[in-house]
């Protein structure tokens, strides 16, 4: 690859997020001296093109991480639980895209625009947050810094790609079947259900992951708990309702939040966000300018619009937040963490 740079491993290289990680590493011209691609035994031996060279995929084993500097994981929680500690034990810094370590007290959970300083406390493993949490906090953090934050209520409109490639295939096949008046049997969504699967085409499923004893789904609890951890605000009231929509890529969110400071206008919120890192403000209702998932695909930023003051609560506001769930929600945030580790001098070339 190069005489200078880092030895980087991508675990889950053949998956949707793994492929996006490789594409992002290439687009960002990440300083890679050696690239190791790891996956299951089933995919071992296949080749993937990276920077014009064919790289052979190897089976992921503990010994695969010898001499690795940075390991990007996106191969499922069970793989991370088994192999991430092995990689860290061998000196690699693991950036894990699964939920396996997110709530571990000694594992930083990081969105670089929000809490990059937490990277200094890593013990070999860094967790990438849930895709919906990431875009929400990129939008909320500048507001929190400027005006404080008292409460967050979010409803998500999540793309099918968040449930994997097979779910996207089912969306397309169901859509064709309905248009052609053909029968079909739902097999995938909601993922994690051991009872029923439902039609996603021309439908909305108000369940993402399994229901918990408190009536919230695991996805909703991820957003609630991760927000408090990342922002270091354990007492912040947060509520979430997560819904799967028949959109291939791009999560959308309707956010209600309350600021500590009163007497603010929608323009005050817009002014804070217009130059915020990672945020693109698209907010001109008179010209019907607002973010939409179809326009965010393939882009690293988080798009914010429809900012308006609540009609009944002085310090309450509403806004609409959209981002590519495979990029900022997964691959780009992971690579961005790696870039930040280098920029902060936490990882250096050997």
242 catalytic? Reply is no
Specify which residues 305 forms β-bridges with.
320
Contacts made by residues 237-241, CB under 8 angstroms, sequence distance 24+? 237/150, 237/151, 237/152, 238/151, 238/152, 238/153, 238/154, 239/152, 239/153, 239/154, 240/132, 240/153, 240/154, 240/155, 240/156, 240/216, 241/154, 241/155, 241/156, 241/206
Which entry of 7, 131, 242, 296 is annotated as an active-site residue? 131
Q: Which of 7, 122, 242, 251 is catalytic?
A: 251
Q: What burial class does residue 267 get, using C-beta atoms within 10 Å of its C-beta: 0-12 exposed, 13-18 middle, 19+ buried?
A: exposed
CA distance 234 to 149: 12
Is 251 tagged catalytic? yes
Task: Using alpha carbons, select from 336, 170, 140 the residue that is nearest to residue 253.
Answer: 140
Q: Which residues are catalytic?
A: 131, 251
């Amino acid at each position: 690859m190069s005489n200078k740079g880092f030895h980087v491993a991508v675990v889950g290289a053949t998956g949707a997020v793994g492929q996006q990680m490789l594409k992002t590493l290439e687009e960002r011209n990440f300083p890679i001296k050696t690239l190791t691609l790891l996956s299951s035994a089933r995919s071992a031996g296949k080749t993937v093109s990276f920077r014009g060279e064919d790289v052979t995929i190897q089976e992921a084993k503990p010994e695969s991480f010898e001499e690795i500097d940075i390991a990007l994981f996106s191969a499922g929680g069970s793989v991370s639980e088994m192999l991430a500690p092995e990689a860290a034990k061998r000196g690699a810094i693991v950036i894990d895209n699964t939920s396996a370590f997110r709530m571990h007290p000694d594992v930083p959970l990081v969105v670089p625009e929000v809490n990059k300083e937490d990277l200094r406390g890593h013990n070999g493993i860094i967790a990438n947050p849930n895709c919906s949490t990431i875009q929400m906090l990129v939008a909320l953090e500048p507001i929190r810094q400027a005006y404080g934050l008292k409460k967050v209520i979010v409803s998500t409109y999540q793309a099918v790609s968040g449930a994997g490639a097979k779910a996207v295939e089912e969306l397309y096949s169901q859509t064709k079947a309905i248009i052609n008046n053909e029968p079909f049997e739902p097999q995938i969504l909601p993922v994690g259900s051991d009872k029923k699967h439902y039609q996603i085409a021309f439908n909305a499923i108000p369940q993402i992951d399994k229901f918990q004893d408190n009536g919230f789904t695991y996805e909703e609890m991820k957003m609630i708990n991760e927000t408090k951890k990342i922002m270091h605000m354990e007492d912040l009231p947060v509520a979430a309702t997560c819904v799967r929509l028949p959109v291939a890529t791009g999560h959308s969110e309707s956010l209600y939040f309350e600021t500590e400071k009163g007497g603010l206008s929608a323009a005050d919120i817009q002014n804070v966000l217009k130059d915020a890192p990672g945020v693109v403000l698209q907010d001109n209702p008179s010209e019907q300018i607002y973010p939409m998932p179809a326009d965010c695909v393939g882009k690293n930023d988080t798009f914010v619009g429809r900012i308006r003051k609540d009609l009944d609560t002085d310090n309450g506001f509403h806004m609409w937040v959209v981002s590519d769930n495979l990029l900022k929600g997964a691959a780009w945030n992971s690579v961005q963490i790696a870039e930040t580790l280098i920029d902060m001098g936490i990882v250096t070339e050997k």
